[in-house]
Homo-oligomer: A and B are copies of this chain.
Amino acid sequence: MALPVAPPDCTAVVFISQFSGNDGPGYAEAAQAMELAAAKQPGYRGFVSARGADGVGIAVSYWADDAAALAWRKHSDHARTIARGRAVWYDAYAVSVATVTRSYDWQRGGA
């Protein structure tokens, strides 16, 4: 897969979560639905996520600006899923919203 590269001035939303272990299949389905829905929102610039065997997950989404990130947070499907996350899937989460100041990337055999 291609790793998303965030241009300067875009908004990064870093979502760190501890999975509860409850309803894993429901969680996986909802996570995929949210990833697809986010990609259709105005100002979407990219997404990547990882979850390790210890249940700690990190999801990073990139947005054109803070308003676009906030609009996605308040989107009705997303708000419902966030509520379900608190009710069932997560034991804890922490969110940081940040403005990208610089970025760089590397790939094997790249220029």
Residues on A facing B (Cβ under 8 Å): 1, 3-6, 11-12, 14, 16-18, 20, 48-52, 54, 56-58, 60, 62, 66, 86, 90-108, 110
Question: Can you report 25 residue pairs joining A to B where beta carbons are below 8 Å apart?
Answer: A1-B54, A3-B17, A3-B18, A3-B56, A3-B92, A3-B93, A4-B16, A4-B94, A12-B12, A12-B98, A20-B108, A48-B58, A49-B58, A50-B50, A50-B51, A50-B58, A51-B52, A90-B106, A91-B107, A93-B107, A95-B103, A96-B102, A96-B103, A98-B98, A98-B100
Count identical subunits in the complex: 2
How far is A111 from B99 in the complex, measured between Cα atoms in Å? 28
